[in-house]
Amino acid sequence: MDIARIAVHDSVAAACPPEGVAESLRGLDRAVEVVGDDASFDARDCVVTFSPRDAFLDAAWVHGVRAGYDAFDVAAYEAAGTALTNSTGIHGDTVPETVVGFMTAFARRIHVYRDRQREREWRQEPYDAAFTLSGERVCVVGLGTIGRGVAERADALGMDVVGVRRSADPVDGVERVYAPDDLHTAAADARFVVLCCPLTEETEGLVDGALLAEMRSDAYLVNVARGPVVDEDAFLDALDADEIAGAALDAHWEEPLPSDHSLWDRESVLVTPHVAAATNRYHEDVAALVRENVERVARGDPLTNRVA
């Protein structure tokens, strides 16, 4: 592979300014430009993109600016001989910080008071509504970069941390690691169940009616993974039946979340528009990954974060 041009596709704007990514890549002794859907590509191009396009299969290498790559047809990239890399590893601070914010809001009732501020309503929550994170159990489902970041911060806050992943290897800050088959056991005693896993055939619908029924009635679900990891109908039914206390959702079944969706009107649910990873340095973080891989290509080393 010989990379002569880095084309930053304008779809990157969904995550960060394409011009910022391009500017951060200058100085690599490669042509760098922002391109649109009218661009063409060849075997000496690297394309940096938010979402896939058929034309990208003509490039040598495509880099997705998200950690997830479920939108990309991995088999098609393999068949075309086009390398595909993702941006896993750069969300170890941003997303975990968002998760801590969600948990703190629920524990300290911040979301409720923010709503009342808008109505200029001076009214306290019931005495038993607020609680402290310290001493509460959190179950982190998926212990990759994001999950480990959540675990480390939760442990520092004095929480009892358990996790779920395929490997039983110990993880710093995690008291016990459960296998996926033991998810129900891991989640049953948790005040918070935090989803940090990728969307795969195995994880689609992972949070179903049976799991929600196993959760504590005062438990909260936090989804910073992908919407389809949660069975939508089962989740809404659980909220209606007060089987769980509430949820924070940064990932949704349909994005944007339809304006008439019932979640918008639920005080017990925090809705954010898939921004858990947002930071004003995101363009620099993405560019650093691309820069590292350009240099690896020049040395003849394998690409980091290669998924196809």
Give the active site residues: 226, 255, 274
Distance between CA atoms of residues 258 and 307, nearest Å = 32
- In our burial notation (b when 16+ CB lie closer than 10 A, e otherwise), range 131-154 reads eebeebbbbbbbbbbbbbbbbbbb
Picking from 57, 67, 298, the residue whose alpha carbon sits closest to that of residue 198 is 67
Tell me whether strands 160-164 and 176-178 are parallel, antiparallel or unpaired: parallel
Is 36 in contact with 9 (CB distance < 8 Å)? yes
- In our burial notation (b when 16+ CB lie closer than 10 A, e otherwise), range 118-130 reads eeeeeeeeeeeee
CB atoms within 10 A of CB 116: 15
CA dihedral 153, 154, 155, 157 (to 10 degrees): 90
Picking from 186, 18, 191, 9, the residue whose alpha carbon sits closest to that of residue 106 is 191
Tokens for 216, please give them. Answer: 């504590």
Picking from 9, 13, 37, 80, the residue whose alpha carbon sits closest to that of residue 290 is 9
With 0-12 / 13-18 / 19 or more C-beta atoms within 10 angstroms meaning exposed / middle / buried, residue 212 is: buried
Amino acid of residue 150: V
**How many residues can be counted in the chain?**
308
